[in-house]
């Protein structure tokens, strides 16, 4: 079979791990003997070989369909992450053709709502399987190896607030509500006012209910609004792992809007999953299972791209860049273990084998990527300079009823 031979030809180039393939009672091994990273892949259908020629999309589709299994998905992902730089060099000349064939996602307001719904509106019961009690869906910070997931998430939330220097006199704007954990933490622990916005209906309902139950409705306002349509200014701004949904065409626009929403002298903290600078051009092509099956329209920025955008379209200065990648790998291990232990609690997920396998693969694949630093997680602290004669925070942040499109959108490059 030609497809099998083609995949085997690629596997013979393995340098960073060993993969043993078991098919029909026959075993074949690829990669250096004695490699510290080693897995066994069991093939259940010959259709897998054609699928694997399609890259990560084929990997995901064939795994979801049950065409193969692996004794350690995280280790398989680590091997893949270590091999990817060489594959990137082979794929880079083909990128212009792939972009011509790929569906162009413009991340307009309507498209963004559809993409966010495709991920976050799968049902709160899905996310509650693996998130901690605070329902925080971003990297935690483990201050000790013994810390629980909840303790680590609360430590991360507090770290964000302390980096921003929050006080009771501040008005915090949060772009990307999630399920409300940062807004609740900032308002209850630091006494500040919070405006938080999401475009997910299910997250809006959930966060609003949590705010009311906590008795913080007088301090926390939850909006269903696109960041592009907000008006006014705040003292501090936080955006925790939301930039990944912006789309690469809109990175400039995102940072420009954030700067406009921040008062002179104000601080912004963005926590972002970033791709290696050298892999950014590959990341922009919508061809991975992550940005098609899990996060439609998503694109990871690189640190170089973020720095270029901040310098090009804002007056903000970078005060600090804090790498928390190792904490994300640990967070994902907790999520993966909790997902596996709890999935039987939700009948629709327990019975939907394909959806369950997709999320098992996604959580494992992500953990492997962070462990080998193919992808990283960073907290970037930015600040606008003080302006003499400034009127401070100005009007509070509100949703615009009929917000016009910015003229000369700098994102269309």
What average pLDDT score do residues 239-267 get? 95
Tell me, what's the pLDDT at 412? 23
Following CA atoms 131, 273, 160, 147 in sequence, which dihedral angle do they give, to the nearest 10 degrees? 40
Q: Is 38 helix (H, G, I), strand (E, B) or coil?
A: strand
Tell me, what's the pLDDT at 402? 40
End-to-end CA distance of the chain: 43
Tell me, what's the pLDDT at 298? 82
- Indicate the length of the chain as a whole number: 413
- The distance from CA 167 to its chain's CA centroid, rounded to whole angstroms, is 28
CA distance 229 to 109: 9
Tell me, what's the pLDDT at 56? 87
Non-local (6+) Cβ contacts of 337 within 8 A are: none
Non-local (6+) Cβ contacts of 341 within 8 A are: none
Q: pLDDT at residue 243 above 90?
A: yes
Q: pLDDT at residue 174 above 50?
A: yes
- Long-range (24+ apart) CB contacts under 8 A made by 34-40 are 37/75, 37/78, 37/79, 37/82, 38/75, 39/70, 39/71, 39/72, 39/75, 39/76, 39/79, 40/70, 40/71
Q: pLDDT at residue 240 above 90?
A: yes
- The distance from CA 409 to its chain's CA centroid, rounded to whole angstroms, is 24
Q: Which of 97-111, 121-135, 330-344 has the highest mean pLDDT?
A: 330-344
Q: pLDDT at residue 227 above 90?
A: yes
What are the structural domains of the chain? 2-101 (3.30.1050), 109-399 (3.40.50.150)
Tell me, what's the pLDDT at 91? 58
Interval 373-402: pLDDT, tens: 999 999 999 999 986 434 445 555 655 544
Tell me, what's the pLDDT at 85? 83
Residue 406: which pLDDT band, with cuts at 50, 70 and 90?
very low
- Tell me the average pLDDT of the chain: 88
Interval 58-83: pLDDT, tens: 999 999 999 999 999 999 999 999 99
Tell me, what's the pLDDT at 86? 80
Q: Phi, psi (5° rounding) for residue 399?
A: -85, 135
Interval 88-121: pLDDT, tens: 666 555 555 455 445 555 666 766 565 555 555 5
Q: pLDDT at residue 257 above 50?
A: yes
Interval 16-56: pLDDT, tens: 999 999 999 999 999 999 999 999 999 999 999 999 998 88
Q: Phi, psi (5° rounding) for residue 188?
A: -80, -35
Tell me, what's the pLDDT at 122? 63
């Amino acid at each position: 079979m030609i497809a099998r031979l083609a995949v085997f030809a690629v596997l013979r180039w393995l340098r960073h791990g060993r993969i043993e393939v078991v098919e029909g009672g026959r075993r074949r091994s690829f990669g250096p003997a004695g490699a510290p990273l080693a897995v066994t892949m069991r093939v259940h259908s010959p259709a897998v070989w054609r699928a694997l020629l399609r890259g990560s999309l084929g990997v995901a589709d064939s795994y979801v369909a049950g065409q193969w299994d692996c004794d350690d998905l995280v280790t398989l992902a680590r091997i893949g992450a270590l091999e990817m730089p060489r594959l990137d060099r082979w794929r880079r000349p083909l990128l212009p053709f792939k972009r011509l064939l790929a569906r162009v996602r413009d991340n307009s307001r309507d498209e963004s709502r559809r993409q966010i719904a495709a991920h976050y509106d799968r049902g709160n019961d899905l996310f509650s399987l693996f998130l901690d009690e605070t329902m925080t869906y971003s990297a935690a910070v483990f201050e000790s190896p013994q810390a629980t997931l909840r303790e680590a998430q609360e430590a991360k939330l507090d770290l964000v607030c302390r980096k921003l220097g929050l006080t009771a006199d501040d008005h915090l704007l949060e772009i990307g509500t999630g399920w409300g954990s940062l807004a609740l933490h900032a308002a209850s622990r630091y006494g500040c006012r919070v405006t938080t916005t999401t475009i997910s209906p299910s997250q809006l309902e959930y966060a609003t209910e949590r705010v009311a139950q906590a008795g913080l409705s007088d301090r926390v306002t939850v909006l269903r609004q696109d960041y592009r349509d907000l008006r006014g200014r705040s003292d501090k701004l936080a955006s925790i792992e939301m930039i990944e949904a912006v789309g690469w065409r809109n990175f400039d626009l995102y940072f420009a809007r954030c700067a406009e929403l921040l008062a002179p002298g104000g601080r912004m903290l963005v926590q972002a999953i970033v791709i290696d600078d050298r892999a950014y051009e590959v990341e922009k092509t919508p061809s991975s299972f992550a940005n098609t099956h899990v996060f439609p329209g998503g694109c990871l920025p690189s640190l170089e791209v973020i720095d270029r955008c901040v310098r090009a379209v804002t007056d903000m200065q970078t005060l600090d860049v804090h790498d928390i990648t190792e904490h994300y790998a640990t967070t994902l291990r907790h999520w993966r273990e909790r997902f596996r232990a709890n999935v039987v609690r939700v009948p629709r997920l327990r019975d939907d084998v394909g959806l369950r396998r997709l999320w098992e693969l996604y959580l494992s694949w992500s953990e492997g990527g962070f462990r080998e630093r193919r992808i990283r997680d960073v907290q970037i602290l930015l600040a606008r300079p003080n302006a003499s004669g400034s009127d401070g925070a100005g009007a509070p942040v509100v949703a615009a009823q009929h917000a016009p499109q910015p003229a000369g959108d700098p994102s269309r490059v």
